[in-house]
Amino acid sequence: MNRAARGLLAAALVALSVMPAFAQACRNPGNFDGWLAEFRREAAAAGISQNTLSAAAPYLSYDVNIISKDRGQRVFSQTFLEFSDRMVAKYRLDTGAKRIQQLAATFQRIDNQYGVPAAPIVAFWGLETDFGGNIGNLPTLRALSTLAFDCRRPHLFRPQLIAALKIIQRGDLTPEQMVGPFAGELGQLQFLPSHYFDHGVDFDGDGRRDLLKSASDALGSAGNFMKQLGWRKGEPWLQEVRVPAQLPWDQADLSIKHPRSQWARWGVTYPGGRALPADAMPASLVLPMGRLGPAFLAYANFDVFLGWNQSLVYATTAAYFATRLAGAPPVGRGNSPVPPFSYEQMRELQGILTRQGFKIGPVDGKLGLQTRGAIKQVQMRLGVPADSYPSPDLLERMRGGR
3-state secondary structure 347-379: HHHHHHHHHCCCCCCCCCCCCCHHHHHHHHHHH
How many domains does one find in the chain? 3
- Other CB atoms within 10 A of residue 82 CB: 12
- 159 and 275 both lie in a single domain: no
The answer to whether residue 125 is domain-embedded is: no
Structural domain span for residue 166: 8-74+136-201
pLDDT of amino acid 77: 74
The answer to whether residue 385 is domain-embedded is: yes
The distance of Cα 149 from the centroid of its chain, to the nearest Å, equals: 25
Cβ-in-10-Å burial (0-12, 13-18, 19+) of 272 comes to exposed
- 313 and 363 both lie in a single domain: no
- 174 and 272 both lie in a single domain: no
| Cβ-contact 323, 294 below 8 angstroms | no
Helix (H) or strand (E) holding 139: strand 138-139
- 69 and 33 both lie in a single domain: yes
- 37 and 151 both lie in a single domain: yes
pLDDT of amino acid 138: 97
The answer to whether residue 216 is domain-embedded is: no
The answer to whether residue 109 is domain-embedded is: no
Q: What is the pLDDT of residues 154-174, one digit of tens each?
A: 999 999 999 999 999 999 999
| CATH at residue 51 | 1.10.8.350
The identity of residue 177, as a single letter, is: Q
3-state secondary structure of 241: strand
The answer to whether residue 353 is domain-embedded is: yes
Q: What is the pLDDT of residues 134-150, one digit of tens each?
A: 999 999 999 999 999 99
- 299 and 371 both lie in a single domain: no
Q: List, as own/partner pairs, every contact residues 347-354 make where C-beta atoms lie below 8 angstroms and the sequence separation is at least 24, other chains included.
A: 348/395, 349/375, 349/390, 349/394, 349/395, 349/398, 352/395, 352/398, 352/399, 353/378, 353/398
pLDDT of amino acid 187: 98
- 314 and 356 both lie in a single domain: no
- 185 and 289 both lie in a single domain: no
Of 296, 325, 354, which closes a domain? 325
Instruction: Please give the Cα distance from 321 to 342 (Å, whole number).
Output: 25
Distances (CA, A) of 312 to 14, 37, 281, 303, 367: 12, 40, 22, 11, 9
Of 201, 228, 252, which closes a domain? 201
- Other CB atoms within 10 A of residue 70 CB: 18
- 191 and 280 both lie in a single domain: no
As beta bridge partners, residue 223 has none
The residue count of the chain comes to 402
- 176 and 317 both lie in a single domain: no
Tally the C-alpha atoms within 13 A of residue 316's C-alpha that lie toward its C-beta.
28
pLDDT of amino acid 75: 46
Give me the torsion for CA of 17, 87, 116, 287, rounded to 10°. Answer: 60
The answer to whether residue 307 is domain-embedded is: yes
Which regions in the chain score pLDDT beneath 50?
1-24, 75
- 362 and 249 both lie in a single domain: no
- 254 and 388 both lie in a single domain: no
The answer to whether residue 90 is domain-embedded is: no
The distance of Cα 357 from the centroid of its chain, to the nearest Å, equals: 27
Distances (CA, A) of 180 to 56, 96, 150, 224, 301: 16, 22, 19, 21, 29
pLDDT of amino acid 25: 54
The answer to whether residue 85 is domain-embedded is: no
